Amino acid sequence: MATLEELKHHALNVRRNVIKMVTEAKSGHIGGSFSATEIAVSLYFNEMNITKDNVKDKVRDRFVLSKGHASPLLFAVLAEKGFIPQEELLTFRKINSRLQGHPNMNYVDGVDMSTGSLGQGLSAAVGMALSYKLHNEPYRIYSLVGDGESQEGMIWEAAMAAAHYKLDNLCAILDWNGLQIDGDITKVMNPLPLDEKFKAFGWHVILVDGHDYNQLFAAYAEARTVKGKPTMIVAKCVKGKGVSFMENQAGWHGVAPTPEQAEAALKELV
């Protein structure tokens, strides 16, 4: 188990690598990667049973990045965990690289589902959780969902199925940063109130600060005690968290920094 200081150090490294990757590629999604950094770090370093020794096992805890455009976050965390070489991160989105704009499970250890088409990741996670239930496996499925992604009807079909099949081995985390590529989620297609909607669909819902490790770990622990229903952790997050000129700016959803902007961002990430 990583200490709080170690987790903060990992998160700092992840954010720095995301900046470097996206700047080198001249393409990629920083805003939503930064908003969910603490969530991904907390899962991979303290919550999930996933190591270099068991990463190829068919049965273990699994993670589905439903908002697949945040692949820089996933790749940076996997590199920080030691599953892929740090130097490979700079091949992000380049021809013949394993690290493409959306994660591909066929190429990278630790990527448990190929995602990118919004809404499909949570559905895949539901299928995994149902399979584990049917085979009496003790492991858990985790999935990171976007708030803009929650405008997709497929999210709610998955939510309905998860509750119907009583998938208490499924824990989803919703990155509620309030912004998507076209702006404020409430102005594009208002999905709020997300907590009450998931409750109405039969989920156990926990509200947390998505950048507070103690709140995240308490929520994961609570989720493990829930029986007969899935858990949705609605995490209030800040788009672009960690870099002052990126925070709460929809324009940083999917734009690469200039070299000068990257240098300024890295100076803040110390």
Number of domains in the chain: 1
Q: What's the rounded Cα separation, in Å, for the pair 231 and 226?
A: 8
Q: Which domain, by its residues, includes 85?
A: 4-268
**pLDDT, average across residues 50-57:** 93
pLDDT band at 196 (very low <50, low <70, confident <90, very high): very high
Angle among Cα 166, 171, 176 to the nearest 5 degrees reads 125
Q: pLDDT averaged over the chain?
A: 97
Q: Output the domain CATH number for residue 160.
A: 3.40.50.970
Q: How far apart are CA 44 and CA 180, in angstroms?
A: 25
Mean pLDDT value of segment 150-178 = 98
At 146, which helix (H) or strand (E)? strand 141-146
Determine the pLDDT at residue 1: 86
Beta bridge partners, 170, equal 141
79-132, pLDDT tens digit by residue?
999 999 999 999 999 999 999 999 999 999 999 999 999 999 999 999 999 999
- Across the range 248-257, mean pLDDT stands at 97
pTM here is 0.97
